[in-house]
Amino acid sequence: MSMLGVLRKIVQEVSAAPDLESVLDLTVRRIQREMHTQVCSIYLLDAVSQRYVLMATQGLNREAVGQVSLSPSEGVVGLVGQRAEPINLEDASSHPAFIYLQSTGEERFHAFLGVPIIHHGEVLGVLVVQQLERRRFDESEEAFLVTVSAQLAGVIAHAEATGSIQPLGSNNNAVPHAKVIAHDRRFDGVPGAPGVAIGQVFVGTLPAELDGVPDKPVKDQAQELNAFYGALEAVRDDIRAVSCTLAQRLRSDEQALFDVYLRMLEDNALAGQVAERIRAGNWAQGALREVVDEHVRQFSAMDDPYLRERATDIRDLGRRILSHLQESAGALPQVFADNTILVADDLSPTMLGAIPDDKLVGLVSVSGSGNSHAAILARSMGIPTVMGVVDLPFTRLEGREIILDGYSGRIYVNPSEDLKKAYGEIMREEQAIAAGLETLKDLPAETRDGYRMPLWVNTGLVSDVARSLERGAEGIGLYRTEIPFMTRDFFPSEQEQAQIYRRQLESFAPRPVTMRTLDIGGDKSLPYFPIDEENPFLGWRGIRVTLDHPEIFLVQVRAMLRAAVGLDNLRIMLPMVTCMHEVEEASSQIDRAVRELQEEGVPVVRPPVGIMVEVPAAVYLTRRFARRVDFISVGSNDLAQYLLAVDRNNPRVAGLYAPYHPAVLRALHFIAQEARKERKLVSICGEMAADPGGALLLMAMGYDVLSMNANNLPKVKSAIRGASLERAQALLQRVMRMDDAEAIHQLLRDSLKQMGLGNLTRPLLPDNT
């Protein structure tokens, strides 16, 4: 078998292993056999003693497992951990760092290859192979071991978070087999909505979605078994009914497939194994997921194509049983903790409605992005949220206490008292600040030297309107029209759209409402209009989609124009514009819609039309665009992504997303200057406008309007009222001479403190790296 085949086999077996001990034992046996070495061992860094402990071996003395350990400064193993890179030696015993561990029996071995097991930059352990002969392991062997260690890292990190690893330095002797849980285990995602929450995990699942079902301890074994057997019988009845219905249309051999399904559900097959797992302590839904996953992995690994296809049958049966289990569970009252943090594989808006508002304090999505519908809804509701926490072992966290940091996109599982105290202080400060800012609602955003800065809001939901007006918004700088499209199973009609838009326009009249035309693609998709591309952010999105589908664009524009009749506060904004041709074609379509409606007797007027500057190409055409349109608006989030080549919704690189990068600031300054040369209003909607320090910079650059999430508006207003335009311009001059994003951000925080506005800076979060 090829190394790739062996690796695939190891990954499948590791995924099916019931616990970490089995994973480690299986891994060393597999590697030792496939690499034809005499020894394979795994050392893990113990959380309490901070020593590398021998946790599994094939080839050394098995009695040394759990007994032998090295400090990070001892031995070649310690050196691998220190350097965080592989060490490949022809004769380990001749290396200056070598330490002889008598109880292991390793004195006979010479060749040594050790690779670090690293998760998110943290060394968790060392994977080692050894051989009798003196030789250097070749590049393919080293690459293979590095790949295996990368797979192991995620498994070990999950085990630490869920309490599967027992640190040897703790006193476990008093309670045999007690699990000692690793505290402050951190998982990184991307910020979805700002704020901090400390609470108890509730794992949300989509109907009949096996992958998202969590493990829960069984409370009433008899009840769970009865529920499972009831669901099983219901599925059997469903299959028999379908079989009877199709009996006249199928050949006998085809109808026999239903008999195969029924046999799979027999007690000595899938059903019996699920019942065993329930008796072992897992609830029915979790036991079902475990057994189905195990069968799916086994069938998927088979060489025979017919048998491989049975994996699909097993998963289908599992979903059917789960659907009936969830239906019966739905009749039972659900009890939520007072501080519930909803965690799901992929958050959906319907999940949010399942938990009472007074108990929901935070949201976590394993997949999804900061621009997903759930994240937008969370920001609108002011619920701290983290998205894209891809490594979080969420199915094993039901009922666990976690800290959610919506500012940095971090999750801490099993937080220590010190960490809870630090974040608790941040939460108290936030509450005090929010209470103090409520008094600013009816006051203007005017600097100490009399400069007035209009503050608008970004909206997308009906609930945003009331919240925005409560906080003193003077207009809508971005209404995301795609959200009503995302909440439906088909394109909304012209009449439906007109009714939705009318509510926004009426609520804010006579204040201006800027409606962005349908902006789908990238990370915003419609279930009934899928866009499947390898690189969606550089693909078919924004104005490109709607100009290719004028029937969609015209219906939407007509709906906007009809909704604005008698109000005349509509502004239309075109997203993702890159060239003049797009502006001219879109303007032509808008003119056509105006003519058609006027001919139909609808008294519409052509509203102001503007563009969003979101791509670097548009930056350098700002002045030309300004001659052709009525206003310019900058989408700073997308613009920063494209300038920095960083997808901020990808947790792997989200740390590189820097809105205060000097290149981003220069681009923003250039846009404001170019628009002003043509005396066109220039606004900005993005995270920087919602940050008090960023708002001062943008005001100094010459932006006419700042648009932001309603929850951030009071802070920004407070910053503007506490500063002068002259001081903001002096701050901008200093910033434009700097060349480091973090240094710029720190200068903004320090400047706000000097102005007496330190309470508006982002909380200084605990550095728990």
- pLDDT for 441 equals 83
Confidence check: pLDDT of 498 > 70: yes
Question: Residue 280, Cα to own-chain centre: how many angstroms?
Answer: 33
pLDDT band for position 386 (cuts 50, 70, 90): very high
Q: Give me the active site residues, please.
A: 373, 685
Angle among Cα 454, 750, 439 to the nearest 5 degrees reads 40
Confidence check: pLDDT of 254 > 80: no
Q: Which amino acid is at 519?
A: D
3 state DSSP class of 583: helix
pLDDT band for position 173 (cuts 50, 70, 90): very low
Please give the backbone phi and psi of residue 379, each rounded to the nearest 5 degrees, phi first. Answer: -65, -40
Q: In whole angstroms, what is the distance from residue 721 CA to residue 723 CA?
A: 6
Task: Give the strands of the sheet with 87-89, arranged side by side.
Answer: 69-70, 52-58, 39-45, 122-131, 111-119, 87-89
* Separation of first and last alpha carbons in the chain: 41
What DSSP designation does 137 have?
Answer: P
Q: What's the Cα-to-Cα distance from 742 to each of 348, 746, 769, rounded to whole Å?
A: 34, 6, 18
What is the number of other CB atoms lying within 10 angstroms of the CB of residue 362?
Answer: 28
Average pLDDT, the chain: 84
Confidence check: pLDDT of 443 > 50: yes
What is the number of other CB atoms lying within 10 angstroms of the CB of residue 506?
Answer: 15
* DSSP secondary structure string for all residues of 462-511: HHHHHHHHHTT---EEEEETHHHHHTSSSPPPHHHHHHHHHHHHHHHTTS
Output Rg (C-alpha) for the chain, integer angstroms. 30
3 state DSSP class of 204: strand
What is the number of other CB atoms lying within 10 angstroms of the CB of residue 684?
Answer: 29
- pLDDT for 107 equals 74
Q: pLDDT of 101-138, one tens digit each?
A: 878 877 778 999 999 999 877 899 999 999 999 999 99
Most confident of 218-222, 369-373, 564-568, 651-655: 564-568
Confidence check: pLDDT of 177 > 50: no
Give mean pLDDT, residues 673-692.
94
pLDDT band for position 179 (cuts 50, 70, 90): very low
What ranges make up the beta strands (E) of 282-427? 340-344, 360-365, 385-387, 401-405, 410-413
Confidence check: pLDDT of 649 > 70: no
Q: In whole angstroms, what is the distance from residue 640 CA to residue 741 CA?
A: 12
Q: pLDDT of 650-664, one tens digit each?
A: 766 767 788 899 999
In DSSP terms, 201 is beta-bridged to 341
Q: In whole angstroms, what is the distance from residue 351 CA to residue 205 CA?
A: 8
Most confident of 167-176, 695-704, 755-764: 695-704
- pLDDT for 366 equals 87
Please give the backbone phi and psi of residue 457, each rounded to the nearest 5 degrees, phi first. Answer: -125, 160
What is the number of other CB atoms lying within 10 angstroms of the CB of residue 236?
Answer: 16
- pLDDT for 170 equals 43
3 state DSSP class of 135: coil
Give which of 443, 485, 399, 346 is closest to 713, Cα–Cα. Answer: 443
Confidence check: pLDDT of 738 > 80: yes
- pLDDT for 178 equals 36
- pLDDT for 701 equals 98
- pLDDT for 172 equals 42
Q: pLDDT of 503-530, one tens digit each?
A: 999 999 999 999 999 987 666 666 666 6
What DSSP designation does 539 have?
Answer: S
The percent of residues in the chain predicted with pLDDT above 90, rounded, is 43
- pLDDT for 477 equals 96
Element of type H or E holding 434: helix 417-437
Q: In whole angstroms, what is the distance from residue 469 CA to residue 508 CA?
A: 8
Confidence check: pLDDT of 169 > 50: no
Angle among Cα 549, 550, 551 to the nearest 5 degrees reads 90
Q: pLDDT of 257-279, one tens digit each?
A: 667 667 777 756 678 888 888 99
Poorest-confidence range of 192-201, 405-414, 463-472, 742-751?
463-472
- Name 286's Cβ contacts closer than 8 Å, sequence gap at least 6: 213, 214, 215, 216, 277, 395
User: Which is more confidently placed, 392 or 760?
Assistant: 392
